[in-house]
Amino acid sequence: MNHWIIAPIVLPAILAPFIIMVLRHHLDLQRVFSVAGSVGLLAIAATLLAQASTGEIQTYELGNWPAPFGIVLVLDRLSALMVGLTAMLALPVVLYAIGSGWDTRGQHFHALFQFQLMGVTGAFLTGDAFNLFVFFEVLLIASYGLMTHGGGAVRLKAGVQYVTFNLLGSTLFLFALGTLYAVTGTLNMADLAVRVAEIPPEDTALLRVGAVLLLLVFAIKAAVLPLHFWLPASYANAPLPVAALFAIMTKVGAYSILRVYTLIFGPNVDATEGLVGDWLLPAAMLTLAVGAIGILGARQIGRLAAFGAIASMGTLLIAVSLFTPDATAAALYYTAHSTFAAALLFLIADMVMERRGGAIIPQSPMAQTGLIASIFFVSAIAMAGMPPLSGFVGKLLVMDAARHVENYATIWAVILGGSFVTIVGLARAGSLIFWKSHDPAYVQAEVVDEEPEEAPAPAAPEPYPGLAFASVFVLVAGLAALTIFAGPATKYTGGIAAQLFAPQDYITAVLKGEKE
Amino acid sequence: MEALFASAVGVLTAAGIFLILRRRTFPVILGLSLLTYAVNAFLFATGRLALNAPPVLNKYKEVAYTDPLPQALVLTAIVISFGMTAVIVMIALSAYLSSKTDHIDLPLAEEAGEDE
């Protein structure tokens, strides 16, 4: 058995308690170990990516119990890509948290951060539906701690809403799993795929209920309209570097949709044929529309970034909901792009917020305004999907994949219209924050006009501003690399899509041919 | 027995949802607890209801047995939901203590972050 597969879960799982129990009074050591853990995770993820790129599907049987009786971890190209993305996002975010001093504003930031990584990588690697639930809970419970990190009345209240919403989601997840277990008698994903295909079509009413319940759960995670209400208030009120890490959490929802509805309820299963795509496509288009309008209407830069995340989930899920290999490949490319772009926007928002408060109104210029303005410009280009960055390539791929669909005109119109509104919204925010602030007449007039803005609380000094900027530039470099190496990247995502739409290989790899 | 069990799950779920829609945090947390009771009972029943049957196979003679897996799942679910309830109680308490109100909704201005 290949023990590399469990390494991305075990490493943070050991590191986090170690940080809590041994290093709790040594912030410097916590930082060293947390960064080292993130680098280690990156190395493990690179190894896994290299192993998965051969196209072989490897499994890891926990406790050596053969599937479907024990829990299996499965490494295929999709899992490897998602673990890689997690690791690539984690390193800049943890560096930023150190550089901006966010990790000093409360206790246990680094331990919670590692637990969060454990949950996310576990969710990407597991091949068992109930184990997926458990890893969802691991990542959620860590995210509750991270979301309320630093405290404050508003943040805690937003935290209560966030926790309530997610507990409801977890309950729904359990109802869905119970329904599926009652019908099929298994929760191993590969085994589920086999059993679901065997059920005669006239007995599938309960199965369809289970499939739709499961879709609702993943839609909550992915912030699909109308289940997106938790996202803006929670992300905008969370510490924004944490929100940057949460950019991968919505992707967990998208990943689960992709995994479950290609493997278990795939396009070839009669019982659920078209069920998911038909619902998901309009919902995804509405998500994009609402995200774009939210960007335009945001009066606070944290909410702007949160709606940016929603809009990019909309584009991503439009591609996912088509369930064709081309569209899935495009969706995966866009996943990588949108993870980096959303995280970048959140980090920039944090820089702005720390220096001048989050309101999108002209105020006297802040420190380093030129540098921050240019990075905001880059992140806005990426988020809106304009050339030359990878958002443009991603949207082009999605639209190209939608070309053969019946109602492609609607999809194109929504994507293009959404991009336009996003561009206007980001341009408006950028010019108000960065340009108008330099216009003395305008600033004066505004101040007279409005209530005198409460001076932003004196920000804690940034211990290492250089580090904060460096981590932002790492994300920019990631976006640039994704653009320059778009060719190899699309080839790789094409390989993932091919693997996803041939689920027989996955089933054979997990069940070792026992069920054939 | 099935009808009784099913209606118990249904009533628990309905009461839970009703409480979750209240405006203050305490009833919301109670509602979440009721919902988790409902889902635990529901999970328990997914292995079919059986009376006086052990959750193990007997290799010496054919006896009735009940599916052990849902029991293991329920155990996991109970532990997780218990932990989660503790977490939300703590967060709700600190939110109450720091804002002096236990309303669940954010005031509109604060939601827009305008006091920041």
Q: pLDDT of A218-272, one tens digit each?
A: 999 998 888 888 888 888 888 899 999 998 999 999 999 999 998 888 877 777 7
The predicted structure's pLDDT at residue A10? 93
**What percentage of residues in chain A have a pLDDT greater than 70?**
95
H-helix or E-strand spanning residue A288: helix A275-297
Q: pLDDT of A310-348, one tens digit each?
A: 999 999 999 999 888 999 999 999 999 999 999 999 999
Enumerate the domain spans of chain B: 2-50+65-107
Of A379-393, B25-39, B48-62, which gets the smallest average pLDDT?
Answer: B48-62
The predicted structure's pLDDT at residue A461? 58
Instruction: Report the predicted TM-score, pTM, of the whole model to 2 decimal places.
Output: 0.91
Q: Which residue does chain A place closest to B99, by CA atoms? A: A153
Within 110-149 of A, beta carbons closer than 8 Å to B belong to 130, 134, 137, 141, 144, 148
Alpha-carbon distance of A487 to A123, in angstroms, equals: 28
Q: pLDDT band at residue A90, thresholds of 50, 70 and 90?
A: very high
Within 50-79 of B, beta carbons closer than 8 Å to A belong to 67, 69-70, 73, 76-77
Q: pLDDT band at residue A81, thresholds of 50, 70 and 90?
A: very high
The predicted structure's pLDDT at residue A138? 92
Side chain identity at residue A174, one-letter code? L
Question: B-chain residues within 8 Å CB-CB of A181?
Answer: 43, 46-47, 69-70, 73
Is residue B87 pLDDT above 70, yes or no?
yes
Q: pLDDT band at residue B27, thresholds of 50, 70 and 90?
A: very high
The predicted structure's pLDDT at residue B48? 82
Cα distances (Å, whole numbers) of residue A307 to A6, A64, A277, B108: 34, 45, 23, 17
Is residue B114 pLDDT above 50, yes or no?
no
Contact A163 B88 (CB under 8 A): yes
Peptide bond between residue A226 and the one before it cis (omega within 30 degrees of 0): yes
Q: Which residue does chain A place closest to B102, by CA atoms? A: A157
Q: How many residues does chain A have?
A: 516
* Residue in A161, A187, A300 nearest the CB of B112: A300
ipTM score of complex: 0.90
The predicted structure's pLDDT at residue B106? 76
* Residue in A171, A185, A299 nearest the CB of B36: A171
Cα distances (Å, whole numbers) of residue A204 to A16, A184, A257: 44, 10, 20
Q: pLDDT of A112-123, one tens digit each?
A: 999 999 999 999
Of A161-175, A309-323, B27-41, B43-57, which gets the smallest average pLDDT?
Answer: B43-57
Size of interface A-B (CB pairs under 8 A): 123
Query: What class, spelled out in words, does domain B2-50+65-107 have in CATH?
Result: mainly alpha
Peptide bond between residue B107 and the one before it cis (omega within 30 degrees of 0): no
Q: pLDDT band at residue A87, thresholds of 50, 70 and 90?
A: very high
Q: pLDDT band at residue A279, thresholds of 50, 70 and 90?
A: confident
Enumerate the domain spans of chain A: 3-449+464-511
Is residue A454 pLDDT above 50, yes or no?
no
